[in-house]
């Protein structure tokens, strides 16, 4: 179990192999973080074809992600994946049917470059984001001025070159995770709170217009060499248990 402030690199993700048996639910402040690389997993739509293929249609890719999500959630709830019922809020945030989870599990998902990130909490609101670490926005400061808070934009304006790009991706990932956890949707929300823009600092929420930043905890992870992940959860503390499905 990894506490806030500790380094969470690829080696911190424990390997779990299929088929999954009964999984213990996160306890207390623990958050389970699962990283799935579909290039290393079988294609449930066509098992004999081997690993996931990049030329699958958008609908097929979505079906594969949903298959593995239900498989994982079912292992926590002691149910077959096909019996897991996922609903959506008005803003689109997926969540477990309360009749199945009894409010004991919450989850969030993110995808990037053929990989999938699933965060599981013990019922606390959770959001995760997954980004390519080398992602480069064409005009990061212009995007920051348009979407970020004034506090964040001012901090980013003091940087340039590679430091600016790294700080921008870090900030974007943290904000995406927090918006997902709140379930309010991304539109007009990114400017309503501020996070620490410095990747060298422990991630954290500095201020919020509509909430108490002290209620939130964040952590970052590097599930793969060219990936960064952000986790936001509304609870008193956070400790990560990281897994890789194979």
Domain residue ranges in the chain: 2-245
Distances (CA, A) of 174 to 60, 68, 224: 29, 25, 17
| pLDDT above 90 (res 211) | yes
C-beta atoms surrounding 219 within 10 Å: 25
Mean pLDDT value of segment 5-26: 91
| pLDDT above 70 (res 11) | yes
Structure-block tokens of residue 99: 């009749």
Largest CA distance in the chain: 53
| pLDDT above 70 (res 114) | yes
pTM: 0.93
| pLDDT above 90 (res 111) | yes
With contact defined as beta carbons under 8 Å apart, do 66 and 81 qualify?
no
Structure-block tokens of residue 81: 């994946």
Q: How far apart are CA 219 and CA 165, in angstroms?
A: 20
Average of per-residue pLDDT values in the chain: 91
Quote the pLDDT of residue 48.
54
Q: What value does the CA radius of gyration of the chain take, rounded to a whole number of Å?
A: 18
With contact defined as beta carbons under 8 Å apart, do 67 and 80 qualify?
no
Distances (CA, A) of 164 to 3, 135, 139, 171, 226: 27, 12, 10, 10, 17
| pLDDT above 70 (res 186) | no
Q: How far apart are CA 74 and CA 80, in angstroms?
A: 5
| pLDDT above 60 (res 32) | yes
Q: Find the range with the poorest average confidence among 46-60, 155-169, 201-215.
A: 46-60
Looking at domain 2-245, does it have CATH number 3.70.10.10?
A: no
For residue 209, which of 226, 233, 229, 184 has the smallest C-alpha distance?
184
| pLDDT above 90 (res 33) | yes
Distances (CA, A) of 90 to 61, 70, 94, 95, 184: 23, 21, 10, 11, 9
Note the Cα 144 to chain centre separation in Å. Answer: 21
| pLDDT above 90 (res 220) | yes
When pLDDT is cut at 50, 70 and 90, the band that residue 44 belongs to is confident
C-beta atoms surrounding 169 within 10 Å: 20
Quote the pLDDT of residue 107.
97
When pLDDT is cut at 50, 70 and 90, the band that residue 229 belongs to is very high
What are the residues facing 115 on neighbouring strands?
37, 112
Per DSSP, the three-state class of 185 is coil
Mean pLDDT value of segment 178-194: 83
Structure-block tokens of residue 166: 């790294």
Quote the pLDDT of residue 89.
74
Give the residue with greater pLDDT, 230 vs 113: 230
| pLDDT above 60 (res 51) | no
**72-108 tens-digit pLDDT:** 999 999 999 999 999 887 667 888 988 888 889 999 9
Q: How far apart are CA 206 and CA 156, in angstroms?
A: 15
């Amino acid at each position: 179990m990894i506490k806030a402030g500790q380094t969470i690199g690829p080696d911190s993700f424990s390997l779990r192999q299929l088929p999954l048996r009964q999984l213990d639910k996160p306890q207390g402040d623990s958050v389970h973080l699962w990283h799935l690389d579909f290039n290393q997993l079988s294609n449930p739509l066509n098992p004999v074809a081997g690993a996931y293929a990049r030329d699958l249609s958008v609908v097929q890719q979505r079906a594969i992600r949903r298959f593995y999500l239900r498989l994982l959630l079912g292992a926590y709830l002691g149910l077959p994946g096909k019996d897991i019922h996922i609903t959506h809020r008005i803003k689109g945030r997926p969540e477990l049917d309360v009749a199945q989870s009894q409010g004991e599990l919450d989850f969030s998902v993110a995808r990037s470059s053929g990989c999938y990130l699933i965060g599981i909490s013990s019922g606390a609101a959770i959001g995760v984001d997954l980004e390519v670490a080398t992602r480069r926005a064409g005009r990061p400061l212009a995007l920051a001025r348009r979407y970020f808070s004034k506090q964040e934009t001012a901090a980013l304006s003091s940087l340039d070159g590679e430091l600016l790009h790294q700080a921008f991706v870090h900030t974007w990932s943290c904000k995406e995770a927090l918006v997902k956890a709140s379930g309010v949707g991304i539109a007009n929300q990114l400017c309503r709170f501020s996070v620490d823009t410095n990747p060298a600092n422990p991630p954290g929420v500095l201020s919020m217009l509509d909430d108490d930043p002290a209620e939130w905890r964040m952590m970052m992870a590097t599930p793969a060499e060219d990936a960064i992940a952000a986790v936001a959860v509304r609870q008193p503390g956070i400790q990560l248990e990281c897994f890789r499905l194979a």
